[in-house]
Amino acid sequence: MFVKTVLGSSAARAGRLHLAAQLRCFSHLPLTVPIKLPNGLEYEQPTGLFINNKFVASKQKKTFEVISPSTEEEICHVYEGREDDVDEAVEAAQAAFSNGSWATIDPLQRGIALNKLADYIEHDKEIIASIETLDNGKAINSSRGDVQLVINYLRAAAGYADKLDGRLIDTGTTHFTYTKRQPLGVCGQIIPWNFPLLMWAWKIAPALVTGNTVVLKTAESTPLSALYVSQFIPKAGIPPGVVNIVSGFGKIVGEAICTHPKVKKIAFTGSTATGKHIYQSAAGSLKKATLELGGKSPNIVFEDADIKKAVQNIILGIYYNSGEVCCAGSRVYVQESIYDKLIEEFKVESEAVKVGDPFDETTFQGAQTSQMQLSKILSYVEVGKKEGATLISGGERLGTKGYFIRPTIFGDVSEDMRIVKEEIFGPVVTITKFKTTEEVIELANDSEYGLAAGIHTSNFTTALTVANKVNAGTVWINTYNDFHHSTPFGGFNASGIGREMGSETLENYTQVKAVRAKLI
């Protein structure tokens, strides 16, 4: 039914686009298609929108193609949602909220349902990890880590179900006064392409455990894993309309969700520029909004650090997930006495990083998720060269098929360079010398962002001093990209508003009601 084509030449590209134009109006796309994964696993991929616990065709019957970043081959098509599909999904979510089938049940039942959802995902975790690798291009071991964190987080969120307590307020003997937390209603959620399934879980879990309903837009380049796991929603005992997934494009589906009058809250993960637009759209109707946005995170190495361990943490901080991580440690600051030694060690280890087939068990860095992202990263490499930075290693596309790039290190940078200031969102790191603790704190904070930071030292006093003074939502000490399902994640400044994970995220999905009764 679907013709597989390979990019590489302009003629092939033109042919694929022509085929895509034809298939966009294909009105008989089945709601599931069989897919055989590169590792030999086979499964049925849902292609429809997920509304009212059913996969359905979009109203206009349009579709869009999904491309494998590691092969540049078409995987399949999925249905493309439009404004009228968003309307239908919001109506389903509003009906589910209003009828009380989810919001007013015993909170324990919501927790049980989330645990069942985690059970289904755990049962299919190898298939799901493989879908993520096929669709996103990340290394299979990274995908497995994502899926495990999804499972852990769903279970952790389930544990919060019966802990949404209000408080009794002593206002004397004439009145009975208390507060309670209530869900907001329909929550609009927009997730990115770098961690498709993980962001799906980070968004829906706190919304559901607090009694809300959801209309979620996947990233157009990576819709497959969220659609696959959505088939488990009804099996887990979650009523129709509570979770709705509309695949589509940001300017259409995303905008429709943000401006819909019945959507009471927007949660977005993505670029700072898009986040600002969404925040303005949400403000127009006074929607509650949480935004997890970009970053340019400092990773600081003091002279008393274990250099070999620090280098491995730098590699994890910048090359993990192909560098497509909002909190990537993309600005490395090294105390001058160990600068040369660390550069030497880091260059050797960086060039030893296995880049390539993401289904190869030994691969650490898979493909970039799209041709657009690859081109952006390569353009920044050229910017760095023109700005006068020294290209120490990498900076080149790897091969001619698939969106691969060599791990890239720039030295001899100044703080006003674009490669130091701007988020590249790829496996590109800059390295800068510093002398004193005071100096490196100033350098670390010289950014519009504030998502994360890393500190490497054997002196715990130094670590805590710097951690307390760096403007970052998450600080890792002698580790990096070290997530835990109970630890809140979010940013300062241009890196966003609100938190994901942890009990803190529950505040994003509830509102406080005060009740004061005069005693007769």
| Interval 423-447 mean pLDDT | 98
Q: Which one of 239, 266, 292 terminates a domain? A: 292
User: Which residues 6+ apart lie within 8 Å of 18 measured at CB?
Assistant: none
Q: Let me know whether 350 and 221 are in one domain.
A: no
Q: Let me know whether 410 and 479 are in one domain.
A: yes
Q: Let me know whether 268 and 308 are in one domain.
A: no
Rounded to the nearest integer, the mean pLDDT of the chain is: 94
Q: How many domains does the chain have?
A: 2
Q: Let me know whether 369 and 466 are in one domain.
A: yes
Q: Let me know whether 288 and 334 are in one domain.
A: no
For 52-108, what is each residue's pLDDT tens digit?
Answer: 999 999 999 999 999 999 999 999 999 999 999 999 999 999 999 999 999 999 999
56 within domain boundaries: no
pLDDT of residue 27: 56
74 within domain boundaries: no
Sign (positive/negative) of CA torsion 47, 51, 55, 56?
negative
Known catalytic residue at 292? yes
User: Which residues 6+ apart lie within 8 Å of 379 measured at CB?
Assistant: none
218 within domain boundaries: yes
6 within domain boundaries: no
Q: Let me know whether 350 and 208 are in one domain.
A: no
Residue type, 215: V
Question: Is residue 389 exposed (0-12), middle (13-18) or buried (19+ Cβ within 10 Å)?
Answer: buried
Q: Let me know whether 226 and 331 are in one domain.
A: no
Q: Give 251 or 162, the one with higher predicted confidence.
A: 251
CATH of the domain at 335: 3.40.309.10
8 within domain boundaries: no
69 within domain boundaries: no
pLDDT of residue 13: 41
Q: Which one of 292, 325, 345 terminates a domain? A: 292
CATH of the domain at 240: 3.40.605.10
Q: Which one of 264, 292, 320 terminates a domain? A: 292
For strand 54-56 and strand 49-51, is the pairing parallel, antiparallel, or unpaired? Answer: antiparallel
423 within domain boundaries: yes
**Taking a C-beta distance cutoff of 8 angstroms, is the pair 190, 256 a contact?**
no
Cα–Cα distance list, 177 to 167, 169, 173, 454 (Å):
9, 5, 10, 45
* Residue 270 pLDDT greater than 80, yes or no: yes
| Distance between CA atoms of residues 95 and 453, nearest Å | 43
For 376-421, what is each residue's pLDDT tens digit?
Answer: 999 999 999 999 999 999 999 999 999 999 999 999 999 999 999 9
For strand 510-518 and strand 175-183, is the pairing parallel, antiparallel, or unpaired? Answer: antiparallel
User: Which residues 6+ apart lie within 8 Å of 288 measured at CB?
Assistant: 184, 264, 265, 266, 282, 508, 511
Residue type, 20: A
Q: Let me know whether 174 and 228 are in one domain.
A: yes
Cα–Cα distance list, 344 to 1, 260, 411 (Å):
52, 54, 12
Residue 367 lies in domain: 298-490
Task: Kindly name the residue from 65, 80, 292, 423 that is annotated as catalytic.
Answer: 292
Cα–Cα distance list, 405 to 66, 69, 374, 393 (Å):
21, 12, 8, 12
| Distance between CA atoms of residues 211 and 517, nearest Å | 26
pLDDT of residue 14: 38
Sign (positive/negative) of CA torsion 209, 215, 217, 222?
positive
pLDDT of residue 19: 41
**Taking a C-beta distance cutoff of 8 angstroms, is the pair 48, 82 a contact?**
no
Q: Let me know whether 190 and 246 are in one domain.
A: yes
Of the listed ranges 6-15, 190-199, 333-342, 453-462, the least confidently predicted one is 6-15
Q: Let me know whether 344 and 225 are in one domain.
A: no
Q: Let me know whether 250 and 141 are in one domain.
A: yes
506 within domain boundaries: no
For 117-173, what is each residue's pLDDT tens digit?
Answer: 999 999 999 999 999 999 999 999 999 999 999 999 999 999 999 888 899 999 999
Angle at 198 between CA 195 and CA 202, to 5 degrees: 125
Q: Let me know whether 143 and 260 are in one domain.
A: yes
